[in-house]
Amino acid sequence: MLELVFPKDTNYHGTAFGGWVLSLMDKAASIAAVRHAGGNVVTARMDGVDFHVPIRVGDAVALDAQVVKVGRTSMTIRVDVYREDMPTGEQELATTGYFVFVALDDHNRPRPVPALADGHDTSSAHPDPEARP
């Protein structure tokens, strides 16, 4: 996903509202979860969201969401948010977060999700948000 930061998306410091960034992250994570689950999902939890650098008016925001762990009915999605200086194209990691989604059946009850494809299990490549100090 790619978004531009406008004044309406910022606080009085001229940096992006945290809640606006979280909304974008949830949206990007939900797309990754729906694609993996092949159907409806709901956000069950957001955790381990770290804001590294400010995102300013005029920056572009690029979001990358990836399924990193799969349970029986749930998926953990890592979302990285990059701020991009539009004139130079320079990108910098601004925010990282983990989102847990649950797949739903036609009766809005949890349903099984497919395992990650062989060689695509990245849960060991990124810290487990539940194991954080």
pLDDT higher than 50, residue 62: yes
pLDDT > 70: percent of the chain? 89
pLDDT digits over 105-132, tens only? 999 999 999 999 875 555 544 544 443 3
pLDDT digits over 29-40, tens only? 999 999 999 999
DSSP 98: E
Q: Report pLDDT for 118.
A: 73
Which residue did the predictor score with more confidence, 123 or 13?
A: 13
pLDDT higher than 50, residue 91: yes
> How far is residue 104 from each of residues 39, 41, 62, 98, 118, measured CA to CA in Å?
7, 5, 28, 20, 24
Q: Report pLDDT for 124.
A: 47
Which whole number is the average pLDDT over 71-94?
A: 95
Domains assigned to the chain:
2-103 (3.10.129.10)
As given in the structure block, the two tokens for residue 17 are 């509202």
Instruction: Determine the Cα–Cα distance for residues 37 and 133; give it in Å rounded to an integer.
Output: 30
pLDDT higher than 70, residue 133: no
- Sign of the torsion angle spanned by Cα atoms 2, 81, 22, 37: positive
Q: Order of strands across the sheet with 2-4?
A: 2-4, 60-70, 74-84, 91-103, 41-51
Q: Report pLDDT for 130.
A: 45
Length in residues, the chain: 133
Instruction: Determine the Cα–Cα distance for residues 1 and 64; give it in Å rounded to an integer.
Output: 7
Q: How many CB atoms lie within 10 A of CB 115?
A: 12
